[in-house]
Structure 1
Amino acid sequence: MLSILTLTRSTQTATYRIMSSETEIQRKEGYHHGDLRAQLVEATRRLVEEKGPEQFSVSEACRVAGVSTAAPYRHFKDKDEMLAAVMMAGMERKFAMMRAAVAECPEGELERIVQLGRVYIRFATTEPGVFRLVFGLAHDHAKREELMEEAPRHYALVENEVALYLGRDEVDEDVKTRAFMLWTFVHGLSFLLIDEKVDVIDMPIDVEGLLWEIARRVMIDR
């Protein structure tokens, strides 16, 4: 069996936590209208993680949130809009974690690039259902307009960190190429980890070591 190294830096535990199901959503007769949308989004997120988006139903989200079956339609047109809200909330969490992670390191340091990889993999492995939803492996949400508008700023953050490390004043073609190489590596590794496909490799997988190795190789001066 493979031993997958757990990342233990403070950024792995500090920024945003998914609160436990016992405390995040409490069943009750009434609820504050202002909290209803967030309550339903969190209930939907939990169900996506437990059962997958294909098995999610509006009625079950209502049951988990402790609200009536009519309540969601105050904020959402249908099931797909509820899933899209989960997807967008996940993207916002991921972006905030990325920003916080790079801020922990001095500007222009290679570790800022490694930090982005840590956050990406942590998001994928702690919220695999949402991760799959974001990348269009369910309900074709990757084509939603909200995601098309949100995704570029995530990628731009990677490009900017690459440019900073290289001492570039702008994001040129070389910066774009290196950023793409970094992204494809962590994206592919994330799916291998959540799909448990690394078992085919007869060697221990050191995630932290891999992140540093790929960062060094991609960012070396050519």
Structure 2
Amino acid sequence: MDGTKTYHHGDLRGALLEAIRVLVERDGPDRFRIAEACRIAGVSTAAPYKHFADRGEMLRGVALAGMTRLRDAMANATAAHPPGDPMQIAALGRSYVDFAQREPGVFRLMFSLTEGHEKDAALQAVGDEAEAIVQRVVADATGLDPESQDARLRAYALWCFVHGHCFLTLDGKTDPLPRPAEDALLAMVGTRMLGG
């Protein structure tokens, strides 16, 4: 089903995805219970199967919504600065780190538990759009063609750094940095990666 039908309490599909998101944050993506999501959403235990084929499809829906929020946060962060402004890179990194810290369960779901995600055209499309934001910011800062190999490599290097930093922090492999120090780190890495 396309999930566009609305119910007396609003969008049932959206309510279920939000309930699952809450449980993913609390219990992790591999331990949430569908019955509890139904209770939170105020629907019967049969209701999810009018919108989702199985548990995996439910998790992909939560991952897609998360990827969309992350992409939008990245776009909004960069739009707050003029093209080519070095602050775009720092803001981009900050938006990514903030998302990971705000929604660690969804962040892990998006990037760790990805069975079937590679076959989901919608997830791939949103991921490509997020990647294009990074490439555009790199191109604006360096004067490179956003589709050039150099711009792609620099964008990838920035993503690897920020993504790795998020997981090292979330996994407790390093102590969280105070925000000013983390902001300085993001600015330093962005400047150095774009500088030469």
- Fold-level match, TM-score > 0.5? yes
- Runs of 5+ unmatched residues, structure 1: 1-30
AA matched with 2:86: L
Counterpart in the other structure of 1:110: 86
Q: Deviations over 1:15-39 (max 9, x none)?
A: xxxxxxxxxxxxxxxx527511111
Residue 204 of structure 1 deviates from its aligned partner by: 6.9
**Counterpart check, 1:210 vs 2:185:** yes
| The one of 189, 193, 208 aligned to 2:165 | 189
Give the conservation status (yes or no) of the 8 Å contact 1:134–1:141: no
Aligned equivalents of 2:144 and 2:22: distance in 1?
A: 42
**RMSD between aligned residues:** 2.0
TM-score by length of 1: 0.79
Alignment-derived partner of residue 149 in structure 2:
173
Deviations 1:37-70 (A, max 9, x none): 1110000000000000111121111011121111
Alpha-carbon distance change, 156 to 197 in structure 1, aligned in 2, over 3 angstroms: same
| Contact 2:60-2:117 at 8 Å conserved across structures | no
Higher RCO, 1 vs 2 (CA within 8 Å, ≥6 residues apart): 1
Deviation digits for residues 1-26 of structure 1, max 9, x if unmatched?
xxxxxxxxxxxxxxxxxxxxxxxxxx
Q: Which one of the candidate residues 131, 145, 162 is aligned to 2:138?
A: 162
Asked whether 1:143 is paired with 2:96, we answer: no
Deviation at 1:90, TM superposition (A): 0.5
Q: Which runs of 5+ in 2 are unaligned?
A: 1-6
Counterparts of 2:164 and 2:33 in 1: how far apart (Å)?
30
In 2, Cα distance between the equivalents of 1:55 and 1:144? 23
Alpha-carbon separation, structure 2, partners of 1:84 and 1:173: 31
Provide the C-alpha distance between the structure 2 equivalents of 1:78 and 1:61, rounded to a whole number of angstroms. 14
Q: Give the length in aligned residue pairs.
A: 188
From 23, 32, 35, the equivalent of 1:56 is: 32
What is the percentage of aligned positions where both structures have the same residue? 46
Moved over 4 A (4+): none
